[in-house]
Amino acid sequence: MSQKEYWIWLQYALGAGARVDEILAHYGSPEAIYCAGSRDWRLSGVFKADVISRLIKRSPSESYSVMKECENNGWHIITPEDDCYPKGFKNLSDYPLVLYVWGNTEVLKHEVPISIVGTRYASVYGKKIATALSYSLTKAGALVVSGGAKGIDSCAHIGALNAGGKTIAFLGCGLASNYLIENLELRKLIARDGAVVSEFMPQTQPTKFAFPIRNRLISAFSHGTVVIEAGEKSGSLITARYALEQGRDVFVVPGDIISSNFKGTNRLLREGAKPVFSALDILEEYVYHYADRLNLENAGELVVDSASQNEIPQSIAKEKPVKPVKTDKPRQESYVQMTLSPQKEERKAPDGLSDCALKIYNILNETPKSAEEIISIIGFSPYDVLTALTELEFSGAVNVHPGGLYSV
């Protein structure tokens, strides 16, 4: 039996986000815990009765099906024994026992990770800044980290990809979950050279408790967390709080002082977070330690045009396709059978749109469509479509609906 099976068994029994430092300090390894047996568990004083009950009910042999699922999908299983296990996690009392990684595990060793977080229901301003700031950070040599969700998260990942760089998305669900299936194409692009990471077993569905568990990893993995557009109850503030507790830096992009969407971020500024106007404001904190990794030549300018470029980066275009995630959700027939409805009235597209953005604008109507539907209709690559949708959002040419749907 491999060591990974014992790690999966222990995490399965304890649950993601459980405090594990005392347990492993006492026993040394998951295998040693298993071999000690229930009598020793009771005498040790490090386990509560309900935890012992879960340990008894589970067996390392159950790990085989999880390992097989990961093998079939090309996912990696990373434990604290592996060389690529993130250094930032090892000081956590509740460090993850297992990480499931879709993509390049080497990116977990990056020396200058910076996280960008914010609301899913971001304004045009927030999305524009997230994309441009991520682009600048990536060009300067940093690694952008976020949560793979809609809004600010997606723009952060897209900005990094537009810059020809790598990015990491930490998920609040398992890699096989159908949650936010409309962002699947973006996750595929992230996994080409970067990584999509989850602490949860592959089939785990999201719950309201899962995202705070995920957020502690985003902050712990990063040197600093940048908060862009967060309301008073935004989950991004949880990430910022974790960052402070973990001894990490917190940065904030100033926003509209009368908008509820910025009440959380503006409060962080009052409490002493460093304001950010360019990538330089962030990276100047780390350049002395990582002078050989960072190039701050253009980090002082936030260039929105560069962040919105529509060409597919060569680093992505030349890569072999990433194996898609298997899901139980059937492909809707409407994706194939869909016909375009005639427009009720003639519309004039905004000037200066890229070819892909113009084509998307012309096929949209008042019936909202997902990015996946649009991809199936117009024949452009997923990367082109995602970038063009961001372009259309910035120009105000499309309406964005909950669930990642678009209309005009």
Task: Give me the DSSP letters along 356-392.
Answer: HHHHHHHH--SS-EEHHHHHHHH---HHHHHHHHHHH
**Fold that domain 334-407 belongs to in CATH:** Arc Repressor Mutant, subunit A (1.10.10)
Least confident of 69-83, 197-211, 365-379: 365-379
Nearest partner of 363 among 385, 348, 376, 378, judged by Cα: 378
Q: What digits encode the pLDDT tens for the residues 28-45?
A: 999 999 999 999 999 999
Amino acid (one-letter) located at 332: Q
Output the pLDDT for position 368. 83
Q: Is 153 helix (H, G, I), strand (E, B) or coil?
A: helix
Output the pLDDT for position 347. 67
pTM over 0.75: yes
User: Residue 68: is its pLDDT beyond 60?
Assistant: yes
d(CA 113, CA 248): 12
Least confident of 64-78, 150-164, 216-230, 347-361: 347-361
d(CA 196, CA 139): 21
User: Residue 344: is its pLDDT beyond 80?
Assistant: no
The mean of the pLDDT values for the chain is 85
Answer with the residue of higher pLDDT: 143 or 308: 143
d(CA 37, CA 345): 73
Q: What digits encode the pLDDT tens for the residues 168-207?
A: 999 999 999 988 777 888 999 999 999 999 999 999 998 8
376 token code pair: 């199936």
Looking at the chain, the whole-number percentage of residues with pLDDT higher than 70 is 87
Output the pLDDT for position 303. 65
Answer with the residue of higher pLDDT: 194 or 299: 194
Average pLDDT of the residues in 282-304: 88
Q: Regarding beta strands 76-78 and 143-146, do their DSSP bridges make them parallel or antiparallel, or are they unpaired?
A: unpaired
Q: Do domains 110-317 and 334-407 have the same CATH topology?
A: no
Least confident of 59-63, 85-89, 238-242, 247-251: 59-63
Average pLDDT of the residues in 132-151: 95
Output the pLDDT for position 11. 94
d(CA 312, CA 402): 27
* DSSP state at residue 204: P
- Give the distance from CA 130 to its chain's centroid: 14
Average pLDDT of the residues in 337-348: 41
**Fold that domain 110-317 belongs to in CATH:** Rossmann fold (3.40.50)
Output the pLDDT for position 52. 93
